[in-house]
Amino acid sequence: MVLEVTLIDVLPGRADDFLAAYEVARPMIAGAPGCHSVRLQQGVDSANRFLLLAQWESRDAHEHNFRRTERFAQWRALIGGSLAQPPMAEYFTDLLTPTNPDFFAR
């Protein structure tokens, strides 16, 4: 499993537009094969900053089942008008494993 963490900055005054577009666009991500969950958070200090958290079976699942598909084109078309800049995404994976449950206790 990987967690895709995407920082999304929207244009000033366009947060409501972005949220409305996200409501329509969310099923495009959530319905992609290999997507286990999708969550959106809004900045407390900056109402124009959002954090999209998507849990994927693998990075390849995200790439092949969403990014390289019509789903992504539709997603971007819906939210694109609200973006201040291209979103910045990174992938993360858990370090705690069954063979090393005390990893963080060091």
Is 102 domain-assigned? no
* Structural domain count of the chain: 1
Burial readout 46-65 (b: 16 or more C-beta within 10 A, e: otherwise): eebbbebebebeeeebbeeb
Q: What is the pLDDT of residue 105?
A: 55
Place of tokens 């910045």: 88
Is 15 domain-assigned? yes
Instruction: Encode pLDDT of 37-95 as tens digits.
Output: 999 999 999 999 999 999 999 999 999 999 999 999 999 999 999 999 999 999 999 88
Q: In sequence order, what are the residues at sequence separation of 6 or more whose Cβ sits closer than 8 angstroms to the Cβ of residue 69?
A: 32
- The answer to whether the CB of 82 falls within 8 A of the CB of 11 is yes
C-alpha closest to that of 32 among 13, 51, 5, 60:
60
Is 106 domain-assigned? no
Q: What is the pLDDT of residue 94?
A: 86
For the cut 60, the answer to whether the pLDDT of residue 106 exceeds it is no
